[in-house]
Amino acid sequence: MSARRSVQAFDLVDALGRLAPLLFLITLMIGFAIAEPRFLSPFNLFNVMRQISITGLLAIGMTFVILTAGIDLSVGALLAFAGLVGAAVAKGGFEDRFAVGASVDAGNPFWLALLAALAIGLIGGAIQGLAITRLKVPPFVVTLGGLTAFRGAALLFSGGGPISGFDPAYAWWGQARLFGNLVPVPAIIFVLFALVAHFVLRYTQFGRHVYAVGGNAEAAEMTGVNVRRVTLLVYVISGFFAGLAAFVLSARLNSAEAVAGLGVELTVIASVVIGGTSLFGGVGTIFGTVVGAMLIGVLTNGLVLLNVSPFIQQIVIGVILVLAVAFDQYVETRRKQRPAPDEHHHLPD
């Protein structure tokens, strides 16, 4: 009987590991709703979604990377570089970089700017993926170098100054609201791409290969998975989302600058890890990442409504991140200690 209770305890730990972020999010929302009634207003809740849309898009790409037991520290810097290139294309160059009003119409259509930002993101991700897979340099080192290199490229490209004042068609992607002027377009983009990413990870062969590489790369290689190709592609995917987030952010702010996304990689990684994706690889979901991003967004928004110092907000998020990783390691240890399935049939009463 005691052995049965032990197995049940292991199952309970796994269940908590999967549901803890969602339960914490619900508890947090109830607490803020009691403390500040304005928190549950539809406008505020959709405002939270708008606020997390950029980090959320980056977190979707980061999920693919962390599922393979990798890391991408360069997403913030790549976002800045891609945003500036896209903005320069939208303005038709640097001559009218600060122009607003009618003169803005002399630039290029927004879709060219979007393609330019996506191209920079894809190229940046591919370069880092190739360095990791071909040169055998650890992802932490490669993307740490990318963080510095892409930030330097953004400063060099822009001369240290911003590019601002886009035409209305460009700004619409970051500032418009739909469905009764309530739902922000960036939030819709975030949700749509989260659904696409969920489908890819759960229902495609590539998604199964991503989990296999993160679970055990050597075993995946022996079963025919092209580990090098999968690893390269997850960094390309991360770069794609950096480019997309760059376009949406510049449209939302009506400006692109070299300091955009400074330090955002920490919030992105926190969203993924708090959402239940294991830093050891092979475990995690896009749904968990969305919950993790929302949790940080709700926490920040609620503390702002309660007039809590932004310095304290950073401390709270940092503590939650450490606790999430500690719990992740605890669950991983318990999972490894679980008895094999065939042992369950012979447990004594």
315-330 pLDDT, tens digit per residue, is 887 887 787 777 767 7
Helices (H), the chain: 2-35, 42-67, 75-91, 110-134, 139-158, 168-175, 185-203, 205-215, 217-222, 227-253, 264-274, 286-305, 310-336
Q: In the prediction, which pLDDT does 71 show? A: 96
CATH dotted code for 2-346: 1.10.3470
- DSSP state, 180? T
- Separation CA 179–CA 277 (nearest Å): 33
Q: In the prediction, which pLDDT does 254 show? A: 93
User: How does residue 13 score in pLDDT terms, banded at 50, 70 and 90?
Assistant: low
Torsion of CA 118, 211, 320, 17, to 10 degrees: 150
Cβ atoms within 10 Å, residue 333: 10
User: How does residue 95 score in pLDDT terms, banded at 50, 70 and 90?
Assistant: low
The half-sphere exposure of 73 on its side-chain side, counting CA atoms within 13 A, is 12
User: How does residue 180 score in pLDDT terms, banded at 50, 70 and 90?
Assistant: confident
The domain limits of the chain are: 2-346
- Separation CA 239–CA 224 (nearest Å): 26
For residue 299, the Cα-to-chain-centroid distance in whole angstroms is 17
Q: In the prediction, which pLDDT does 338 show? A: 64
Q: Per-residue pLDDT tens for 215-262? A: 999 999 999 999 999 999 999 999 999 999 999 999 999 999 999 999
Query: Out of 73-77, 203-207, 280-284, which region has the weakest mean confidence (pLDDT)?
Result: 280-284
User: How does residue 96 score in pLDDT terms, banded at 50, 70 and 90?
Assistant: low
Q: For the residues 6-24, what does the mean pLDDT come to? A: 64
| For residue 8, pLDDT beyond 50 | no
Q: In the prediction, which pLDDT does 204 show? A: 96
Cβ atoms within 10 Å, residue 165: 21
- Separation CA 171–CA 96 (nearest Å): 17
Question: Do 82 and 242 contact (CB within 8 A), yes or no?
Answer: yes
Average pLDDT, the chain: 87
Task: Read off φ and ψ for residue 277, nearest 5 degrees.
Answer: -80, 125
